[in-house]
């Protein structure tokens, strides 16, 4: 006879056991704990303000779909706040179309504004074209596709948020994503960057919209479970360019280590929280200025987006 585990907080059957504290949760308490954790994360890092307009980056993947759903429940208590969805179409054939489908489906379900921006329309080239023009990595192309995509996606998301009048951008980066980013900066020896990875949204330049990560302390496995038990469909296939990312190696290390050390990512993120104030006292060597071409924030004469466009145009000439 199979004996079902009961929820640690009621007598209902449990559907999930958290590996880091062994709490067994039924559906109702699982949802409650997810929402409460996001609320606490928002409060802890002072992510949102009352009467704010929150732009949520929605790609169609599990993190962004779950975040959109959770934030509508959290912010329902604050009717003065407003949520709008922004989707960036990078132009990846056979991949982005499905993500766009799920993004549109859930934004319509929640009856929210949806603004779609694209690399092709707003930059002049989609990602497939950029990679084709730059050539094979290791020969003509210096960096992985994810690096070029990240440059344009960050710039376009910021431009989009400004255009829709948002005062903060919320992204679906989860606990493991944050731990990966911290470890990547340690591996690269960029310790000062650990001080700049500030979860408190701050206005550091006139052109930059502050960013927030409400899932910063939420494990990926719980986000997947949240989507499953709430029937939230999302894009499951991986981006075809992901194989080029060094981040994948760090991700594999984290997930393998977590099997024996369930608190690993919590420890990494909390450790960064402790050392960040110390690192922020070190004066940065570079200050932000306006890009000479587009006026966006940069530490050089040209922002990364304009640098990339000049590079592509020089090859095409």
CATH numbers and ranges of domains, the chain:
31-288 (3.40.50.620)
Higher pLDDT, 286 or 313: 313
Q: Are strands 16-17 and 24-25 parallel, antiparallel or unpaired?
A: antiparallel
Mean pLDDT of the chain: 93
Share of the chain above pLDDT 90, in %: 83
pLDDT (tens digit per residue) in 224-235: 999 999 999 999
The model carries a pTM of: 0.94
pLDDT (tens digit per residue) in 101-158: 999 999 999 999 999 999 999 999 999 999 999 998 766 788 889 999 999 999 999 9
Q: What is the per-residue pLDDT for 316?
A: 83
pLDDT over 60 (residue 3): no
Helix/strand/coil for 244: helix
CA distance 309 to 288: 20
pLDDT over 60 (residue 206): yes
CA distance 216 to 172: 8
CA distance 305 to 18: 41
Q: What is the per-residue pLDDT for 193?
A: 87
pLDDT over 70 (residue 197): yes
pLDDT (tens digit per residue) in 10-27: 999 999 999 999 999 999
Confidence category of residue 283, pLDDT binned at 50, 70, 90? low
Higher pLDDT, 286 or 135: 135
Higher pLDDT, 79 or 289: 289
pLDDT (tens digit per residue) in 75-104: 988 888 999 999 999 999 999 999 999 999
Q: What is the per-residue pLDDT for 2?
A: 45
Q: What is the per-residue pLDDT for 136?
A: 81
Q: How is residue 227 written in tokens?
A: 């989507």
pLDDT over 90 (residue 305): yes
Dihedral sign, CA of 132, 136, 141, 147? Answer: positive
Confidence category of residue 284, pLDDT binned at 50, 70, 90? low
Buried b (16+ CB within 10 A) or exposed e, 230-254: eebebbeeebebeebbebeebbeeb
Q: What is the per-residue pLDDT for 1?
A: 39
Residue 181 CA: distances (Å) to CA of 7, 85, 213, 269, 272:
34, 25, 13, 10, 11
């Amino acid at each position: 006879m199979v004996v079902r585990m009961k929820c640690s907080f009621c007598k209902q059957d449990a559907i999930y056991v958290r590996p880091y504290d062994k709490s067994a949760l039924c559906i109702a308490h699982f949802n409650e704990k997810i929402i409460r954790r996001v609320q606490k994360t928002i409060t802890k890092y002072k992510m949102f303000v009352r009467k704010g307009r929150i732009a949520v980056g929605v790609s169609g993947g599990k993190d962004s779909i779950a975040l959109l759903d959770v934030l509508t429940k959290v912010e329902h208590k604050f009717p003065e706040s407003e949520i709008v969805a922004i989707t960036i179409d990078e132009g990846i054939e056979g991949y982005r179309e499905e993500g766009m489908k799920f993004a549109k489906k859930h934004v319509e379900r929640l009856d929210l504004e949806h603004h779609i921006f694209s690399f092709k329309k707003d930059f002049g080239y989609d990602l497939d074209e950029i990679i084709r023009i730059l050539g094979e990595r290791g020969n003509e192309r210096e960096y992985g596709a994810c690096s070029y995509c990240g440059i344009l996606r960050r710039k376009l998301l910021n431009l989009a948020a400004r255009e829709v009048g948002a005062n903060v951008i919320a992204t679906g980066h989860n606990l493991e994503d944050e731990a990966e980013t911290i470890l990547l900066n340690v591996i690269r020896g960029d310790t000062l960057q650990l001080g700049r990875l500030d979860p408190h949204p701050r206005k550091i330049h006139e052109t930059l919209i502050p960013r927030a990560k409400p899932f910063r302390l939420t494990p990926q496995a719980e986000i997947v479970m949240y989507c499953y038990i709430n029937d939230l469909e999302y894009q499951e296939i991986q981006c075809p360019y992901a194989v080029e990312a060094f981040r994948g190696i760090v991700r594999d290390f984290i997930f393998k280590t977590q099997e024996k050390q369930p608190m690993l990512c919590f420890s990494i993120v909390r450790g960064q929280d402790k050392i960040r104030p110390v690192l922020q006292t070190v004066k940065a060597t570079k200050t932000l200025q306006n890009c000479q071409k587009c006026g966006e924030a940069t530490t050089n004469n040209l922002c990364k987006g304009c640098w990339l466009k000049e590079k592509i145009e020089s090859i095409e000439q």
